[in-house]
Amino acid sequence: MVAVTSGMLVVFALVVVTMALFVTEAAPPDVTAIGVIVALVVLEPWTRVDLQTGLSGFSSAATITVLSMYALSEGVRQTGAIRVLGDAVASFTNGSESRLLAAVVGLTGPVAGVVNNTPVVAVFVPMVSDLADQANVSPSKLLIPLSYASMLGGTLTLVGTATNLVASEAYAAATGLPPFSMFTFTPLGAVVFVVGAGYLLTVAPRLLPERIEPGNRTGNYGVEPFLARVLVPARSPLVGIPAGEVSDDTYRDLNVDILDVLRGGEHFIAADSDREVESRDILTIRGDPATIRRFCDLADLRFLPRASVTDAELDRPERVALVELVVPRESGLVGETIGGARLRERYDATVLAVRRRGGDLIREHFRDVELQVGDSLLLQTTNETARYLRDSGDFVVTSEVADEFIEDNGGLSPTSFRAFAVIAAVIGLAALGVVPIAIAALGGVAAMVTLGCLSASDAYGAVSWNVIFLLAGVIPLGQALQLTGGVALLSEFVGVAATYLPVVVVLAAFYLLTGLLANVITPVASVVLMLPVAIDTAFGLGADPFGFALAVTFGGSTAFMTPIGYQTNLMVYGPGGYRFTDYLRVGAPLQLLLTVVTTAGIVLLWGV
């Protein structure tokens, strides 16, 4: 019988507090993780975590590999290869919803197996949204399948997700055996992907609602009543005022914005221009309908009641872009107001609407709106600014933006082939065991920069540092559980309960429990906490610890039931117009299906 010690109780208390903070998001997950490191080291007499152990997460092979994979994925993205894939998919699908869904699932999964799945979704969302518009299909029918397919594809290889890499290192630390190789669980991953893909192609379309109307962003955000067109007579006091300064000057308190100016046959965006308003100009204005009328009276403008403002009026590829953005967890603007972020002044961008998690729409008084994780913004800006926003890291751009690395004939540039060669070399060297995966990935980043596929600043900017700090914080927490005997105590309790159950049922229970935890805390944290317990339980039952480690690893990669469980789910939440229940309706049956499939696959392929 394992004796309960004060050290165990302290670490268990830290685990409970950490999980509560993850679930409530009272603090960002990476900040919580940093606090965990501090607490573990400060409480060393009880946690047994000294300074070196507390900081070991930063030097972990898993952390270094994840960091490198973000940079490698950015190198591939910058080549414009995704745009070329989008053109190929558009030709293949030819407007068919079923073929488009098949192409999205069939393409996303294998790509996510060799390139970290989070950047894959980041670059696929605008492509899929654009293809959905072309095919007149609601993006809501495609974006959850896109996220789920990337998660399923992440189980194909060691580098598919950060969860796999953390599990590999934790397995080696707990058993003293070598970590997983590049293709250790590829046979099981292939089975899981095929079954999951079959579900996404047959069952999911019947469960997914059409939350978003295709090709109508202004309508989907409900901004059409908040847009109007007005004519500038010669007597208007606006004549001679720079178009970009109208809403920042005398009329600031009215909360109206001048979006663009039509002069003759030429459109120019107001926020990006210092040209003065002239007589006979036609202005596109955003604001509350009553406020627009008041603005017209004050500025002596002629309201044009029959001139509706649609996507076509606001989105002109040669100059003006109507862009959708999502605020990711790692954005530096989370918690800042739109006015404080100075989007119009810094980015020549005018916010038209904000969609909150849960579907609430905000269409006026943006200056005081505080940006939250998962918010979707509809704004008008220039194509140049849209590319800058995409590359800034503060937003995920979910509408198509032209890439610079595509040759005029539509093919890939030499840069693209160099990037693909680097990725192939990284995977090959790691798979053959020539060098450890962390070293191969770091070498790949250096090669990308040297070969001109990626600049050094872009490599640093591509890393989701919140994920890196999260990894660095939860890894020593798992070590503290082992050092204080907490893992042994939990395993003893589980072992007593499992005495009356078949080993295969216990195996399935670990898969399901890890998956449920991953839906409310991060997948990485769920694996760090559950994998040592699963391995100790396996030893206690006389079972193969490898099979139990796989169950936890795959369970952590299948957080299908909530938008907050995995970052790719959150990335498609706003663009798809989803509600929280949509994930539960589609994800719960898939999670239960894969509990059976994964457990059976482990038993048949490796035994228990």
pLDDT digit string, tens, across residues 18-71: 888 887 777 778 888 899 999 999 999 999 999 999 998 898 888 898 888 888
Amino acid found at 414: P
- Residues 453/418, Cβ–Cβ less than 8 Å: yes
User: Can you list the alpha helix ranges (DSSP code H) found in 203-276?
Assistant: 204-207, 217-220
DSSP H helix total and E strand total for the chain: 29, 10
pTM: 0.80
Q: What are phi and psi of 432, to 5 degrees?
A: -80, -5
Which one, of 66, 104, 60, lies nearest residue 85 by Cα? 104
The pLDDT of residue 405: 44
pLDDT at 409 over 50: no
Beta pairing, strands 227-231 & 282-286: antiparallel
Give phi and psi for 468, each to the nearest 5.
-65, -45
The Cα 559–Cα 22 span in angstroms is 15
Cα angle 400-401-407, degrees, rounded to a multiple of 5 = 115
Q: Which residue has tokens 């399923």?
A: 152
Distance CA 381, CA 347 (A): 8
Confidence class for position 240, pLDDT limits 50, 70, 90: confident
More confident residue, 231 or 319: 231
- The pLDDT confidence band at residue 411, using thresholds 50, 70 and 90, is low
380 phi and psi angles, rounded to 5 deg:
-110, 135
CATH number of 216-308: 3.30.70.1450
Of the candidate ranges 138-152, 561-575, 579-593, the one whose mean pLDDT is the lowest: 561-575
CATH of 318-398, one of 3.40.50.720, 3.40.50.300, 3.30.70.1450, 3.20.19.10: 3.30.70.1450
- At 551, the pLDDT band (50, 70, 90 cuts) reads very high
Segments making up each domain of the chain, as ranges: 216-308, 318-398
Q: CB atoms < 10 A from the CB of 1, how many?
A: 5
Which residues pair with residue 116 across a beta bridge? none
Across the range 579-589, mean pLDDT stands at 92
More confident of the two residues 317 and 280: 280
Query: CA 38 to CA 55: how far, in whole Å?
Result: 9
Instruction: Give the closest residue to 556 by CA, choosing from 523, 516, 579, 584.
Output: 523
Minimum mean pLDDT among 2-16, 185-199, 215-229, 278-292: which range? Answer: 215-229
Q: What is the pLDDT of residue 406?
A: 46
Q: How far apart are CA 563 and CA 234, in angstroms?
A: 53
Say if CB 311 and CB 213 are below 8 A apart. Answer: no
